[in-house]
Amino acid sequence: MKSSSVTAREKGTDLLKVRDLHVEGFSDERWHPIVRGVDLSLKRGEVLGLIGESGAGKSTIGLAAMGYAKPGCRITQGSVLFDGVDLLSMSEARRRRLRGSRIAYVAQSAAAWFNPAHRLLDQTVETAVAHGIASRDKANRDAIDLYRRLQLPEPETIGFRYPHQVSGGQLQRAMTAMAMACRPDLIVFDEPTTALDVTTQVEVLASIRRIVEDFNTAAIYVTHDLAVVAQMADRIMVLRHGQTVEEADTRQMLTTPTQEYTRTLWAVRKLAKPEIRTQDHLLAIDNVTAAYAGRVKVLVDVSIKVPRGRTVAVVGESGSGKSTLARVVTGLLPAMSGSMSFDGKPLTLSLKGRSKDLLRRIQMVYQSPDSALNPRQTVEEIISRPLEFYLGLKGQQRDERVGELMHMIEMDESFLDRLPGELSGGQKQRICIARALAANPELIICDEVTSALDQIVQEEILKLLMRLQHELGISYIFITHDIATVRAIADEVVVMHKGQVVEQGLKTEILAPPHAAYTELLLSSVPQMDPDWLTGLLARRNPIFK
């Protein structure tokens, strides 16, 4: 389907060889090192996993392997040999011809990379046709074959849908099909399953692994999820502060890491909160049904109670109604029927019917701080706004409270004059928490607040939330698809599926067998730190993978 040198196809030879890679980024009016002298090699058909906490340089290295640096970054030293030719020394025009045809990229958020105005099939075949690799008819047939290999529903017709007409998991697989359309020698996967629920993640991981094996494609798999990289990678490279900590075969790395930092990564997320049963409920939701624009019901007769000073985790796959439940509680989506009470008093279903004080008492922290924070406001302005709006604080009183809130989220006041773009992902999420705390709420709804964070930062945020709950007596509704997070932070668990509550109760009751069938599906889909886990799971669920 495409020409490729014999050298790249010879067994045992390196398709990609990166040596002494240095990358810098520009901020605070100067250049800062991001990647410091990294070496890596990759053979055809091999998958290299890059892991490490935020700021380790994982994505930067993945992009540099394509001869690319993001705006505001520059490659200052080293070589990137792809099939024996240095990508960094060739012309930009030649690099562009390679990208998409022989080198491809799959991003974390497929929704951000698809053009909403064009059908999936048109976007899948565009590169193959533009590079002259295939005619439009052949490219269409190849795309349908890829859709089938990637286990997409109705492969013959799904390509005629627009991006918004498919689920997140389906769109992620469609992006993988788009990357594979030219049968590239190398694919860079940059956190492709981070935002997916566990059941969808299993499907996408299986699809990616099958397509890489079928076409003997080399891949770099960037992730912060250790259990995921255990399923996907032949070798793992651990990174920190832009440098290689250690590198080894996956099984060896999982069982006998040599460096203390790696052992620390392996040990995170072992938090376990003992739950306490209480009948003192702050929020009661009774037989609530909700729909968007009066169409298909998204919530059906949902009843949930949230104890005062406790955490209720709401779990379920994409489309189960978790985030819709949050919108109903906050009044952003008025329920069609049912009732709610807060602190023993009726809670108006519509936002418009709620007093300012009631709005103050129920706050929300969103999944993506990048979209939740105004990029043009400083940290001080962001936190000050609710203090002024809800509490009427001004001047010295307001400034002192801002300082107290910064102390609560374990950040010092030197961050107050920074913009969100100058903060790490974990720091931005802490600012979102401080903004919610500024209103002195009694209930905070946390909607997937740790899903985009690396595991070390996730642990820090969870510890922060638990400490704040202990000190302030706040109740949480914690929406998540991460069972490890549930084990860490929840007192009670609500399992949702297709807009209904499947089961609910104390964490120990819900997570201990026997489980309801759907709960069992969720729990069995949580990746384990075992390289054979995915293979075994697929074999049990579908004989085709045996």
What is the DSSP track for 379-438? HHHHHHHHHHHHH---HHHHHHHHHHHHHHTT--GGGTT--GGGS-HHHHHHHHHHHHHT
Question: How far is the first Cα of the chain from the last one, in angstroms, to the nearest whole number?
Answer: 29
Strand 311-315 and strand 475-479: the pairing is parallel
Q: Cβ-count burial of 505 within 10 angstroms (0-12 exposed, 13-18 middle, 19+ buried)?
A: middle
Q: pLDDT digit string (tens) for 116-147?
A: 999 999 999 999 999 899 999 999 999 999 99
CATH of domain 281-376+422-512: 3.40.50.300
Phi, psi of 89 (to 5 degrees): -95, -10
Q: Are 483 and 315 in contact (CB under 8 A)?
A: yes
Q: Rounded distance, CA 354 to CA 331, Å?
A: 8
Q: What is the largest CA-CA distance in the chain?
A: 75
pLDDT, position 546: 44
Nearest CA to 82 out of 95, 71, 92, 100 is that of 95
pLDDT band at 4 (very low <50, low <70, confident <90, very high): very low
Q: Which two tokens stand for residue 159?
A: 């390509």
AA letter at 254 = L
pLDDT, position 20: 97
Q: Which two tokens stand for residue 542?
A: 């579908």
Residue 85 DSSP SS3: strand
Q: Rounded distance, CA 2 to CA 128, Å?
A: 10
pLDDT, position 531: 92
Q: Rounded distance, CA 329 to CA 286, Å?
A: 11
Decide if pLDDT at 360 tops 60: yes
Q: Rounded distance, CA 190 to CA 366, Å?
A: 22
AA letter at 495 = V
pTM listed for this prediction: 0.79
Decide if pLDDT at 293 tops 60: yes
Q: Are 58 and 70 in contact (CB under 8 A)?
A: no
Residue 497 DSSP SS3: strand
pLDDT, position 433: 95
Q: Rounded distance, CA 315 to CA 481, Å?
A: 5
Cα→Cα distances 355→288, 330, 362, Å: 21, 12, 11
E-strand ranges in 173-254 read 186-190, 218-222, 235-240, 243-249
Over the Cα atoms of the chain, what is R_g?
24
Encode 212-238: b = buried (16+ Cβ within 10 Å), e = exposed.
beebebbbbbbbbbbbbbbbbbbbbbb
Cis omega before residue 375 (within 30°)? no
Decide if pLDDT at 544 tops 70: no
Q: Rounded distance, CA 177 to CA 162, Å?
A: 15
Q: Rounded distance, CA 75 to CA 65, Å?
A: 11
Give bridge partners of residue 24 from the DSSP assignment. 33, 74
Q: Domain ranges in the chain? A: 13-267, 281-376+422-512
pLDDT, position 201: 86
Q: Rounded distance, CA 15 to CA 44, Å?
A: 6
Nearest CA to 186 out of 40, 299, 66 is that of 66
pLDDT band at 419 (very low <50, low <70, confident <90, very high): very high
pLDDT, position 61: 96
Q: Are 170 and 158 in contact (CB under 8 A)?
A: yes
CATH topology identical between 13-267 and 281-376+422-512: yes
Q: pLDDT digit string (tens) for 254-288?
A: 999 999 999 888 776 566 677 667 789 999 999 99
pLDDT band at 1 (very low <50, low <70, confident <90, very high): very low
CB-side neighbour CA atoms (13 Å) of 252: 11
Residue 3 DSSP SS3: coil
Q: Rounded distance, CA 303 to CA 350, Å?
A: 18
Nearest CA to 232 out of 175, 180, 268, 191 is that of 191
Strand 492-497 and strand 311-315: the pairing is parallel
Phi, psi of 2 (to 5 degrees): -145, 155
Decide if pLDDT at 437 tops 90: yes
Q: Cβ-count burial of 534 within 10 angstroms (0-12 exposed, 13-18 middle, 19+ buried)?
A: buried
State the architecture of 13-267 in CATH terms: 3-Layer(aba) Sandwich (3.40)
Q: Are 285 and 303 in contact (CB under 8 A)?
A: yes
For residues 378-397, average pLDDT: 97
Maximum average pLDDT range among 63-77, 185-199, 200-214: 63-77
Residue 268 DSSP SS3: coil
Decide if pLDDT at 443 tops 80: yes
